[in-house]
Amino acid sequence: MLDQKAVYLEKLKQSLGNHPEKDMICREISSHIAEGIRERMLYGISEKEAHDTILSDLGDPTELGQSYHLLVEGQNKTTMAILLNWCFFIGGILLTIMNQMFHFSVLHQAWIVLERISQDILLLYSVYWFFLGFTIGKVYGPKGKKCISQIVIRALIPNLLLMILVLSNMIPKEFYSPLLDPIFIILCMIATILFYPISRVAFNYGIVHGL
């Protein structure tokens, strides 16, 4: 039985490859196996049967190792999505400031293009929030309900900050006019309110897709 456990852990280790937490994962699985055997034996199950049952419940070690890789990849995607939103925010501020301070034709043309496609950008931005929620659902599954709010709020900070700066007139209107006209500002406010529900719907869809 010890050989069987050792073989399982060796296959798991091979499947984990260069996973940064490989040793810790193997120790946790080893402890889980030992604890599972003890619990089953308390109910009168033989050690061999308990051993076979716990390994069967864990599933194929290769697939188990691959699932940890998928989790890391998913966490990286979530982090990148949050950083991307911050990049949009910082990039927008820099473009606005440079457009006001420097009279380069390239910056002026870029600003004009943004004015023309402002509503399309808002639509694409909604897709971004759908992708974020979908990724969280696919990676974390039902357990992600505990962390989706925290992740979405972290990602929403730039949007909320920009909304406060605009509505409080801390940013002079001439800086963003005519890009942010009153109608577009209202649309942005509505969209910002809807971003979290959009992420939750996408989160549920991601759970189903990840099963």
pLDDT in tens, 186-211: 888 888 888 888 888 898 888 877 65
pLDDT attached to residue 17: 78
b/e sequence 184-193, b meaning 16+ C-beta within 10 Å:
beeebeebbe
- What is the pLDDT at residue 74? 62
Q: What is the pLDDT of residues 97-137, one digit of tens each?
A: 787 777 778 877 887 888 788 888 888 888 888 888 888 88
Of 30 and 182, the structure prediction assigns the larger pLDDT to: 30
* Whole-structure pTM value: 0.59
Distance, in Å, from the CA atom of 6 to the CA atom of 74, rounded to the nearest integer, reads: 29
Average pLDDT, the chain: 79
Domain positions in the chain: 2-59, 71-210
Phi-psi region of 182 (alpha: psi -120 to 50; beta: other; left: phi over 0): alpha
CA distances from 211 to 17, 41, 71, 175, 204 (A): 24, 32, 13, 48, 11
